[in-house]
Amino acid sequence: MAVVAAYAPGEQGDAALRAAVREAHQRQSDLVIISHAYHHPDHGLTHAERAEATRALHRIAAGFSPEIRRYLESLELVIDESSDINVGDRLNEIAERRGAELLIVGLRRKSLTGKLNLGQAVRKLILGAPCPVLVVKPDEVSAA
């Protein structure tokens, strides 16, 4: 079984990785990171390369206890790069293929009105997921 985290650079991606590290350790599960498509202001549609996602994970892991860092080091890290524009469908497909027990996604901060509209990708993800979905938002400490 695996904990699967959706990653794109930014606060929401960091929040998803942080939650995924905690959950994988607590469950003693494998960790799969899916670097999914996102819109970069200068480069258009892109995704984080494996090296970028790995650096983000190491940066985030530095804030955890030595026990959790050792656990992470013991895992064979799986990073799946996807530039597929249908993010919700792609995440569900990978979660099913990897036998995910939990799928974690970060959500951008939104205005009061925007909170009512989660977005098409997250809606597809939640409704079609083969496992429970944990949606996290950036916390104040990580956003500073």
Whole-angstrom CA distances from 95 to 75, 92, 101, 111, 122 are: 18, 5, 8, 30, 14
* CATH fold label, 2-143: Rossmann fold (3.40.50)
Average pLDDT for residues 61-87, to the nearest whole number? 83
* Residue 114 confidence (pLDDT): 47
CA distance 116 to 109: 12
Residue 125 CA to its chain's centroid (Å):
12
**Res 2: pLDDT:** 92
pLDDT at 7 over 50: yes
Domain locations in the chain as residue ranges:
2-143
Is there a contact between 91 and 85 (Cβ–Cβ < 8 Å)?
Answer: no
The answer, yes or no, to whether residue 117 has pLDDT greater than 80, is no
Identify the pLDDT of residue 110.
Answer: 59
% of the chain exceeding 70 in pLDDT: 85
pTM of the model as a whole: 0.83
Separation between Cα atoms, residue 83 and residue 45, nearest integer Å: 8
pLDDT tens per residue, range 25-73: 999 999 999 888 777 778 777 778 888 888 999 899 999 999 999 998 8
Q: Which of 35, 122, 124, 40 minimizes the C-alpha distance to 84?
A: 35
